[in-house]
Structure 1
Amino acid sequence: MVKRIFDLLDNYRECFPDKIDAFAKKEGEQWITYSSEQYLTYSNFISYALLENGLKKNDCVISISNNRPEWNFLDMGLAQIGAVHVPLYPTINAKSYDYIIQHCQPVAIFVSDQILYEKIEPLLADHPSVKLVYSFEKIKAVAHWTRLLEAGEKAEANLKSELTAIKESIQPDDLATIIYTSGTTGNPKGVMLSHNNFMSNVLASAARLSLDSSHKTLSFLPINHVYERMVNYQYQYKGVSIYYAESMDTIGDNLRELKPHGFATVPRLLEKVYDKIMAKGKSLPFIKKSIFLWAVKLGSKYELNRANGSWYEFKLKIARKLIFSKWQEALGGNIMFMCSGGAALQVRLERLFWAAGIPVQEGYGLTETSPIIAANQNAYPDVKFGTVGPVLKGVEVKIADDGEILARGPNIMLGYYKNPELTKQVIDEDGWFHTGDIGCWEEDRFLKITDRKKEIFKTSGGIYIAPQVIENRLKESPFIDQNIVIGEFKRFPSVIISPDFEFLKEYCKRKKIPFESPEDVIFNQKIQVRIWKEVQKMNVNLDRPKKIKSFRLVADVWTPESGELSPTLKLKRKVLKNKYQLLIEEIYS
């Protein structure tokens, strides 16, 4: 029974001993694969080497890396000796690294490359707890991770029985990892997750994964994030081959090259895929463009279980052959499922991808819930558009009087590291975790998320505004890349918009509007009028006091690197409000 993270290795030994491509990464033009046997061997060698270096149970070890097979070897090597894996985003700043190193006092740090080492190297002198530094790529002044393999192989005979004893002593509820997530005070907070937190989630959600050991998947979301990490464990449990994308920029090329059967994603990436498809379709010659737009319009009306009738299904068959087959080809041609999480997925996109024969399974959860609370399946009747699906087996959910979603079960975190007071604020005496999300039930079994409790604000007129609902609707426009709704304690809600400048450039070209730069085009009167038209389109569906009354365009592109978005592409509202404070004052002056 898989109850601890390293039990996945025994599962490989028993179920998939001859798998030749448990993992793969690309070096140059070639995909380098690692077998299940190598996975077991390398994980053991790392365990032996770390034991020989004096690591013991509950010691923290930080990894700062892109997605790669070596990350898993380290992860399992640490799990087997009871050490605590602390994986960090490669994109966060030096100040955050400094805080986390001070907070968790790691014994060792693993980095993937020279650039990341240069970010942490100046900090090491101030953190004497760090005794060891290793790299996954060969860089100067740092020991390469293969040194551990060599040392572990030599130490195996002496440490084999000790490792066996340590593994037997590790309980499912023991701490396995600390995942640092953004804190409300500015400092990251460490979410403590046990072996059982993860494995209970893996086992409960595995039944909803339609892939098996004959399939392969592409992994590109950061593996240090709880969502992609759990999905990777899920793939391992079912023996699915995991191929790691070279980078976020090569996802399209990797999909077409590998032709995988599925992948995990976030809504923003699907939105960008859709925008590119639409831009390409609208640039087709008139007849082809007309057929393309007909297919998209048809797909936007898609209903599950052939609910639209036989005439609709006949037209859909034609649309799939003429148009949607090209969508499938763009994703490699073999996609059986896509799971989407991290933020709300537009219902329009859900319908379109399902109409194209590419099921999208939207789910919901948090780092503190390891992460899945609820998820749609990829077949009727266990899927409903506009919801995050039925609750996972073994997890309880109830809606509080104020609409907040509460969850309880084996997936709920152990607590926040070194912060029992904050833990008490989110986990009550009865074990219910307060998610901070507002939701409701549909058909008594499908969970629907409506907003973030902390993000709902009130205007000076006493009107409550749920900004995410408005922001998601606005992002359906091809003109809008990102936006933030503002207006707390103000007379009316407004919105600051970061346009999709790639689309805008093509639009300006078609309409013969000058496009010198983003800084110039956002003040062009024709562009202002056109984007306001998109806002007005959205306003139609809002009650009068909730309608957007004013807007401003900004020339900045919001990204995790520039600081306006989190690594999972969520808005950093405090950062944005501070950044555009003068603009906000101008709106309400």
Structure 2
Amino acid sequence: MSFTRMDIRRTFDILPQLQQKYNKPDCFAAKINGQYTPISTDAAVEKVNQVSLGLRSLGVGKDDKVAIISMNRPEWMFADFGIAQLGATSVPMYPSITVEDYKYIFSDADVKAVFVSDKKLLDKVREATQGLNIPPQNVFTFDKVEGARHFSELLDLGKQGNPADLEPLKAAVQPDDLLTLIYTSGTTGQPKGVMLTHNNILSNCRNAQRFVPVTKDDKALSFLPLCHIFERMVTHIYLINGVSIYYAESMETIADNLREVKPEIFTTVPRLLEKVYDKIVAKGHSLEGTKKQLFFWALNLGLKYDNQQNHGFFYNTQLALANKLIFNKWREALGSNLRCIVSGGGALQPRLARVFWAAGIPVMEGYGLTETSPVIAVGGYEPDNNMIGTVGPSSIIRR
């Protein structure tokens, strides 16, 4: 599925397309009381509009800055789209940064309101806002926290408004208006705010989505931080293509969530893929006798794999047997339905790419920067457009 500049000019233009083309019972899903609870497309759009109307009633308008401090969850996206529909600017912040960094960003960005997930982060926000000349006037929590204003209060304010009133506000938002202000880590001093427009992110989606093999029938598991541009941009690609987005409970539960959700795709960073590989190898070491020998026979076959060449009849026959005896269990551990993994945020060791490709799990490696919204180059899903150890179409490299 492709989209044109006219179809989706601002990020929130994705929402009416979702309703018209991909109206689903599970647009988003999160784990609540031990099980995944779906949120329909209509319910998601309704909540986005309530966020916009609620913020508007509190005086938030075009060009105002609103912070989001939370791990991945549906409310993150409701807040992000709701802010964007007003022509305001979201300021996503890493939950793990220091109170001093919070204080600096609140002041530097002139943040007017804050969405924060839980009590622990709320305490950090409260500490960070002490002593500010103009602290954020409105702070809402996604979890219910005693003594704090809950997200539902904002939605209730929004219910008092009329979604039709948002149309002129949305119409005033231009593709080159500032969508988000992302503060990168302060390795060269204090954090620096990267200014990205609607068109920055959507132009990246237009150019990158042909590399992402997804359909409206697919599910994605999301666990890389949405406050990072990589996961956020890919999320827009998912939604443009009608993919259902399921959120992992935490970094510690990814393995369990993969088996529960059975996604067709997820994004990751090399370190997490390395951990998956290490766990699989550790399990191999715990085997005994013939099972252990078969495991490491298959692993060694995988480590020799090259998606750019035909290894010959003997190797291919062995690999087919390894996939039937050993690698099928790897795919089961990742949910059984996985079509591909997208890796970014650092260089992926070629040995990892080789063994996952050999196991029937293509790994697409990308490279980019926050300032480039973020993708500069990415390997394709097809072997002809993916050369292990590189980023970008392999046909370009061969030329």
**Distance in 2 separating the partners of 1:284 and 1:370:** 45
Among candidates 333, 338, 341, match of residue 335 of structure 1:
338
**Distance in 2 separating the partners of 1:23 and 1:304:** 34
Report the more deviating stretch, 282-291 or 268-277.
282-291
Q: CA deviation at 1:363?
A: 0.6
- The residue aligned with 2:356 is 353
Contact between 2:69 and 2:94, CA under 8 Å: does it hold in 1? yes
Equivalent position SS for 2:211: coil
Among candidates 158, 167, 171, match of residue 174 of structure 2:
171
1:65 and 2:70 aligned: yes
1:160 and 2:149 aligned: no
Equivalent position SS for 1:6: helix
**Distance in 2 separating the partners of 1:37 and 1:138:** 24
Query: Please, what TM-score do these two structures have when normalized by structure 2?
Result: 0.95
Runs of 4+ in 1 over 6 A off after TM superposition: none
1:114 and 2:69 aligned: no
In the alignment, residue 70 of structure 2 is paired with which amino acid?
A: S
Q: CA deviation at 1:88?
A: 0.5
**Distance in 1 separating the partners of 2:21 and 2:241:** 9
Q: CA deviation at 1:153?
A: 1.3
Length, aligned pairs only: 391
1:197 and 2:188 aligned: no
In the alignment, residue 342 of structure 2 is paired with which amino acid?
A: C
Q: CA deviation at 1:306?
A: 5.4
- The residue aligned with 1:81 is 86
Equivalent position SS for 1:78: helix
Q: CA deviation at 1:14?
A: 2.1
- The residue aligned with 2:11 is 5
- The residue aligned with 1:412 is none
In the alignment, residue 398 of structure 2 is paired with which amino acid?
A: E
In the alignment, residue 53 of structure 1 is paired with which amino acid?
A: L
Identity of aligned residues (%): 48
Contact between 1:3 and 1:200, CA under 8 Å: does it hold in 2? no
Contact between 1:306 and 1:313, CA under 8 Å: does it hold in 2? no
Among candidates 310, 329, 332, match of residue 326 of structure 1:
329
- The residue aligned with 2:318 is 315
- The residue aligned with 2:397 is 442
Q: What's the RMSD between the two structures over aligned residues?
A: 1.3
Q: CA deviation at 1:28?
A: 2.0
Higher RCO (C-alpha 8 Å, min separation 6):
2
Q: CA deviation at 1:234?
A: 0.9
Query: Please, what TM-score do these two structures have when normalized by structure 1?
Result: 0.65
More helix by share: 2
Contact between 1:60 and 1:86, CA under 8 Å: does it hold in 2? yes
**Distance in 1 separating the partners of 2:383 and 2:201:** 27
Q: Which runs of 5+ in 2 are unaligned?
A: 1-6
**Distance in 2 separating the partners of 1:367 and 1:332:** 30
Superposed CA offset, 1:456-509 (max 9, x none): xxxxxxxxxxxxxxxxxxxxxxxxxxxxxxxxxxxxxxxxxxxxxxxxxxxxxx
Contact between 1:383 and 1:389, CA under 8 Å: does it hold in 2? yes
Q: CA deviation at 1:305?
A: 5.4
In the alignment, residue 183 of structure 1 is paired with which amino acid?
A: G
Larger Rg: 1 or 2? Answer: 1
**Distance in 2 separating the partners of 1:262 and 1:13:** 22
After the TM superposition, which residues 540-551 of structure 1 pair with which residues of structure 2 at under 5 Å, given as runs? none
**Distance in 1 separating the partners of 2:26 and 2:19:** 14
Superposed CA offset, 1:219-259 (max 9, x none): 01111110011111111111111000000000001111121
**Distance in 2 separating the partners of 1:125 and 1:291:** 61
- The residue aligned with 2:131 is 126
Superposed CA offset, 1:63-103 (max 9, x none): 10010001111111100000100010111111111111111
**Distance in 1 separating the partners of 2:188 and 2:29:** 39
Q: CA deviation at 1:206?
A: 1.4
Contact between 2:99 and 2:127, CA under 8 Å: does it hold in 1? no
Contact between 1:336 and 1:358, CA under 8 Å: does it hold in 2? yes
Contact between 2:308 and 2:387, CA under 8 Å: does it hold in 1? no
Report the more deviating stretch, 299-308 or 169-178.
299-308
